[in-house]
Structure 1
């Protein structure tokens, strides 16, 4: 009996907050927020729920920590870029890829807009807006515009991927069905939508996303120049 107790204690001692967070990320990636339960986490870590609660307060704390871990890695990778513009592009594509790989992040960021994960992204973008020399009165508008674009478009892309999977298909099949629906619209009332239906079938979400980033960055760089 004593040996079993000691073995459990050694197992629990080896448990860390970081290992719990990584296991939580794996469960969230596999099953979304519904897939993250303390029972599933205990089974994955081969430990008791009590040992996990020693490191995290509750599911909300764990969700926030998991989201922050992914965001922190994304921001750290973007820091390697050479110029402020390149760093903002790297933040954008990094978050696009992060939400594509971890779709649950979008809901967590929306649920806790003032929490550390969102603050990390805002600080990363805002710091580069400042580094570009944007006047102080325009910094919030520039940073928040880019932030909202990144999270909005990346989040929508992740949502579209989930819809495609739920319908039992992949992205090309979903785009084909949407394009076909657009082509059936009234040609007078929806002339533009019908005209881009073929492009919808073939477009690259990531490439379009980065083109939008560049449009916003062009505007931010223009804002730092004094009027003629």
Structure 2
């Protein structure tokens, strides 16, 4: 008589783990509970495995945060394309394969990151941290390369590439992060419309001799669209780059 093996198999699937799967679970935890909610214990529970199996793929929380940040930004940015000068787009474009100008490509990069930071409240802090730790980190490199290729296609002299790409990158990161912060403040107690109404009303009550400009744009602040304002800033930088 053959004896049956009655040993129950564990439901844990450590053999199915990968760095990509761990990173995706980390992003879910970050979205749900922020950086404080991302622990290896919580990650282990979500993945139905033990911490040791996760450490096999990721050394520590810092590496995990970096991987999560890079994954979200990579998904947000448009696929890399070969830069095409603006005056060549009309000749090369075909109905089945439209070609975007460098300006359009820069706007796509900017808006992709703007949207990602708005959708992932933790992202702005992590991107800023990577930037502060050095330009060799994956996210600053990815963004700088995406913008730099298009700066070159705009016809900017090579000696000005670094300055132009840096100006774009710092504007995009700063403006996107500030917008996300404002949205969280407005959403914590009141809606965006009520928040802007309060700001506009406060500006209208300022001393007209000390704050003439701020009073003059109070209504514009109330009625503005965040994305349109963000993209207007990109257009201003591009116009200045072209003028130089």
* C-alpha displacement of 1:175: 1.2
In the TM superposition, 1:125-144 aligns within 5 A as: 125-144=147-166
Between Structure 1 and Structure 2, whose CA radius of gyration is higher? Answer: 2
* C-alpha displacement of 1:76: 3.5
* C-alpha displacement of 1:170: 2.0
2:49 to 36, 47, 50: 47
In 2 relative to 1, CA 78–212 (structure 1 residues): closer, same or farther, beyond 3 Å?
farther
RMSD: 1.8
Tell me, in whole angstroms, the C-alpha distance in 1 between the residues paired with 2:54 and 2:99. Answer: 37
2:215 to 188, 194, 209: 194
Q: Which residue in 2 is equivalent to 1:71?
A: 73
The secondary structure found in structure 2 opposite 1:189 is: coil
CA deviation map 1:61-112 (0-9, x unaligned): 0110011011111223474962211111100111111111112111111112
> Counting helix residues as a fraction of each chain, which structure ranks higher?
1
> Higher mean Cα deviation, 84-93 or 214-223?
214-223
Tell me, in whole angstroms, the C-alpha distance in 2 between the residues paired with 1:130 and 1:160. Answer: 33
* C-alpha displacement of 1:2: 4.1
Unaligned runs of 5+ in 2: 1-5, 82-97
Tell me, in whole angstroms, the C-alpha distance in 2 between the residues paired with 1:76 and 1:88. Answer: 10
The secondary structure found in structure 2 opposite 1:32 is: helix
Q: Which runs of 4+ in 1 moved over 4 A?
A: 77-81
Task: Tell me if the contact between 1:78 and 1:90 (Cα under 8 Å) persists in the aligned partners.
Answer: no
In 2 relative to 1, CA 165–60 (structure 1 residues): closer, same or farther, beyond 3 Å?
same
TM-score (norm 2): 0.84
Q: Which residue in 2 is equivalent to 1:87?
A: 105
Tell me, in whole angstroms, the C-alpha distance in 1 between the residues paired with 2:27 and 2:53. Answer: 18
In the TM superposition, 1:115-154 aligns within 5 A as: 115-154=137-176
